[in-house]
A and B are shown apart, each in its own frame.
Chain A
Amino acid sequence: MSDLVLGLMLYGVSLLTMAGIYSVLAIGLNIQWGYTGLFNAGIAGFFAVGAYVSAILTSSPSTSFIGGLDWPFPAGLLAAMVVAGAIGYLVGRLCIRLRADYLAIATIGVAEILRLILKNEIWATNGPRGISNIPRPFEDLSQPWSQLAFLAVVAFVVLIAYLLAERAGKSPWGRVMRSIRDNEAAAAAIGKDVVGFRLQGFVIGAALMGLGGALTAHFFKFIGPEATEPLLTTFLVWVMLIIGGSGNNRGAMLGALVVWTLWSATELLTSQLPPDWAVRATFLRIFLIGLGLQIVLQRYSKGLLPERPPNSRTDDMVPSVDPAQEKAPPAE
């Protein structure tokens, strides 16, 4: 295989792997925001917790951070989900009653506190230098196969997450979630435990964000506090979900693929520019992503794949009120 073909192939595989990891994050956010209507602006925090937990448990012993227990990869992923979910439970217990933008402020605050801890507790996390040499499954295979095998692992995880989220969304549980999102008072009036259901949605979403973080740590074989910058996690995942279509898991995955492809392809283009311009072009990319979000928000607020309420049989009889449409800004 010629070098060029191999290079292109590796680029494509890495792009798909990242899109897959972002799909997990976007599905997690979809459960929190799309299903339940919880504005979590602290995705980076749960992402970081998952990444560090899996890194610490699966790495070999080291003097620069705690752990190094040589756990197998799946156990690391599972532990990442459990710990991120547990922190989600604690945060949720305290904050879940807050109204939307207060919840956003509180979750950002929690995420920033988590980031400060990761940066400052050098004995546990190796501080700003981060943890390197995190094992990646199948890394001993030869060039394209190792990357392809990891892509398959990620694809498998995405598939499981998608099927479970989809199943949950169509189940009675999912319908309760949507009813709480669209009319909290009515859901409470028919006897649903609103706080309990919202908490469940928050914890499941947080666990998936931890899973995404763990996969990222294994993919790059490195995790440092910079990787948990709000820009690359919290913000990008929000853009993906909004553009893809909040409330729709396939939309979340499509959004992840489209936005990540744009993000990474434009990076490939701008890296060809002279260094000074390349740095500046990065900011132009961020600006365009922000502008894209505004355009989608104002013109196509339902996203590429709009939410389809489950149980379409009743929709034929009763004129359906699409919640996304109802919330959409009036066309001017």
Chain B
Amino acid sequence: MIEFINFYLIPGLVLGCMYALGAIGVSMLFGILRFAHFAHGDVITLGAYFALLFVTTLGFPVLLALPVAMVLTAIVSIGLDRAFYKPFRNSPTIYLVIASFGVALMVRSLVQLAWGVKVESYAAGTFSKPIIFFDTLRIADKHMWIAGLTIVVVVALHYFLSRSKLGKAMRAMADEPDLAQVSGIPTEKVVRATWVIGGGLAATAGVFLGMDSQLHTNMGWDLLLPIFAAAILGGIGSPYGAIAGGLVIGMAEELSSYPWIGDAPLLSPGYKTGVAFALMVALLIWRPSGLFRGRTFT
């Protein structure tokens, strides 16, 4: 039992936190701009490497480099929107999708150009010793940080969306874009705010992934499909659903290789990521509104 918690449940929750942070961005961008942002994974990679820059050159501790990386990634996100997505605001969404494919490739190749393709890590050994509870329950302190900070970020986001004027405008625009526009909501300002949140959270997901394992230039792309799966599971356009979706997908991946029946893993660990893809395809086909019966976009 304790093995189950230590080696399957906790890694699943930690992975779920990263998926959730990415999925909130994807889901909100879909809600506001109505397109699947295929470059989100590579924005995550960029965020992780921004933090690396400050860790290696200025000797920042990772947790201090995180806010800097969030700000930089948010700025880059706004820039990407201005240059590559804004020209297509009134075109069929498919142009945005194709453009975001191109942006994904451009961002990744720039990261590879700047940092090379070696596997990197934030100062190794900063987070190592697990904290032991009740003699057997072991939680690595990096996992505590990841889970704790994810909760902080999510609560802050909740207050922003439910209390602030801009947050309310954002939800209004996701629900009824035409109505929002005629009632005088500054749409471009809302769009910019969405990119700031999406980019900032993407950087957070990237830094957490880098803390948890290592940095490599495909890390974000590998995260992209599970993130889409999480966003769809939670009902696309809904940030709260995305959080739940992220946790479910993260757990599903980790728990799929637990020996539920007999001694062998239920599914060979090589197929772990396939669980998310399969869940996502199945959801798209049978339950495109997500588990919680959100809206579907046609």
Q: Which residues of A contact B (CB under 8 A)?
A: 39, 41, 94-95, 98-102, 104-106, 108-110, 112-113, 116, 119-120, 231, 235, 238-239, 242, 279-280, 283-284, 286-287, 289-291, 293-294, 297-298, 301, 327-330, 332
Contacts and interface: CB of A to CB of B under 8 A. Distances in A.
A287 to B, nearest CB: 4
B270 interface: yes
B101 A329 contact: no
B95 A238 contact: no
B87 A329 contact: yes
Contacts of B99: 293-294, 297
B241 interface: no
Contacts of B92: 327
A293 B90 contact: no
B281 A100 contact: no
Contacts of B274: 112-113, 116
A287 B117 contact: no
Contacts of A94: 281, 285
A294 B39 CA distance: 13
Contacts of A104: 36, 38, 97
Interface string B89-103: 011111101110111
16 contacts: A39-B94, A98-B288, A105-B228, A105-B284, A109-B278, A112-B273, A112-B274, A280-B113, A284-B113, A286-B112, A287-B109, A290-B106, A297-B95, A297-B99, A298-B88, A330-B90
Given A116-B271, A301-B95, A329-B88, A102 B110 contact: no
B110 A283 contact: yes
B91 A290 contact: no
A102 B38 CA distance: 11
Given A98-B284, A101-B35, A39 B97 contact: yes
B277 A112 contact: yes
Contacts of B108: 286
Contacts of B105: 231, 235, 286-287, 289-290
Q: How large, as a class, is the contact surface on chain B?
A: 35 or more
Interface in B233-283: 268, 270-271, 273-274, 277-278, 280-281
Interface of B: 35-36, 38, 83-84, 87-88, 90-95, 97-99, 101-103, 105-106, 108-110, 112-113, 116-117, 225, 228-229, 232, 268, 270-271, 273-274, 277-278, 280-281, 284-285, 288, 297-298
A97 B270 CA distance: 31
A280 B114 CA distance: 8
A99 B101 contact: no
Given A108-B225, A113-B274, A329 B90 contact: yes
A39 B297 CA distance: 16
B225 A112 contact: yes
Contact of A280 (B84, B103, B116, B270): B116
B270 A95 contact: no
